[in-house]
Structure 1
Amino acid sequence: MANNLFRIRERTVLSDDWGNLARYDFELKTRSGAWQAQRREAYDRGNGVACLLHDPEGGTVLLIRQFRLPAAVNGHDGMMIEVPAGMLDGADPKQRMREELEEETGYRVSELDHLYDVYMSPGSVTEYLSFYQGTYDRSDRAAEGGGNVEEGEDIEVLHVLLEDALAMIRTGEICDAKTIMLIQHLALERR
């Protein structure tokens, strides 16, 4: 792989389990035009989707709580409050998001608005997330939710007032980047 900014010289797979961790030896073209040798690692687990559903009548947002090992091993208790999200696995992002919403929350929605695509940690992870938002009503519940047991998911569904969700960001109870971005986006829209 090469382009006018960088040239890969060697790719070494360090791990290929849930995702792929590789070390890259490459040359990067500097602003002066010189080529500089560098070595970095990149983790590739595919691209994903995330969505915030809002109930305009009740003033709530639909969030989930689930255990996240990386947060737990970094000092958090691991029980993260997040928006529903999932991996694309080659699927259409909007359709995949609808499936994840029903699997994780039990809610079936037809209309989702694409907001933006974002690289969440471009210094180490190849993944980008497609962000969506939509509305829901309590009558849209079509399934139990709670996640896929075979995938180790045990998801609690939360209906949180938008104002409370904003306060939870300030207190650190919500500390997931994708969730913060989507809640703040909705709050700005509703101004």
Structure 2
Amino acid sequence: MTDAPILIRSVEILSDDWAILKKFTFDYRRRDGSLERQVRQTYDRGHGAVILPYDPGRGTVLLVRQFRLPAYVSGHSEPLIEACAGLLDKDNPETCIRREAEEELGYRLRETEPVFHVFMSPGSVTERLMFFIARYSPEDRVGEGGGDRHEGEDIEVLEMALDEALAMVDQGRIVDGKTIMLLQHLKLKGL
């Protein structure tokens, strides 16, 4: 084994449907120098981007509400309230999130500002998510939003006060991690 902390011994594709589920068997060099054989699975659906548009003059943000099967089967029966997001689909993060904002929110955003580039669930999911914020105003609305019906999306656009959204986090009504991070970022920055 080299100086690298792991040596991959085998990779098995368990599923290649909506995403790719792989099983890795590898040797891991522990901090004490000993080797340990481990088996882990990774779920790869590509990388993504998320954006939270805000109107500083009115103190509002744009969010979406949509059904999420993983949340439902985990006991959360209500549709989730989230920041607008999507998979990159071979685009760069800014192109992706501008497309998603028009498709989901019905807004054409002028300037986007990157704020984080993070792994959301690195224990098993390979996705890295680029976070953005952007100013918006009612004049930026170019459509109804609602998502792409051909992709199975049925999205409700929500405009609410930032403080109301933060109160919904405290009440357990907003439970999506990426959304909570962006709402708190706006509040901390005083935007």
Q: Scaled by the length of structure 1, what TM-score is found? A: 0.97
- For 1:175, what is the secondary structure of its paired residue? coil
Aligned to 1:142: 142
Aligned to 2:61: 61
Aligned to 2:116: 116
Structure 2 unaligned regions, length at least 5: none
Residue by residue, what CA displacement relative to the aligned partner does 1:111-160 show, whole Å, maximum 9, x if unpaired? 00011101000001000100000110011001221000000001000001
Structure 1 stretches (4+) deviating beyond 3 angstroms? none
Give matches, 1:81-120, under 5 Å. 81-120=81-120
- For 1:27, what is the secondary structure of its paired residue? strand
Question: How far 1:73 sits from its partner (Å)?
Answer: 0.4
Q: Distance in 1 between matches of 2:60 and 2:101?
A: 16
**Partner AA of 1:10 in structure 2:** S
Q: Distance in 2 between matches of 1:126 and 1:74?
A: 21
Q: Percent identity?
A: 50
Aligned to 1:28: 28
Q: Distance in 2 between matches of 1:3 and 1:103?
A: 47
Q: Distance in 2 between matches of 1:10 and 1:3?
A: 19
Question: How far 1:171 sits from its partner (Å)?
Answer: 0.5
- For 1:188, what is the secondary structure of its paired residue? helix
- For 1:90, what is the secondary structure of its paired residue? coil
Q: Distance in 1 between matches of 2:55 and 2:125?
A: 33
RMSD: 1.2
Q: Scaled by the length of structure 2, what TM-score is found? A: 0.97
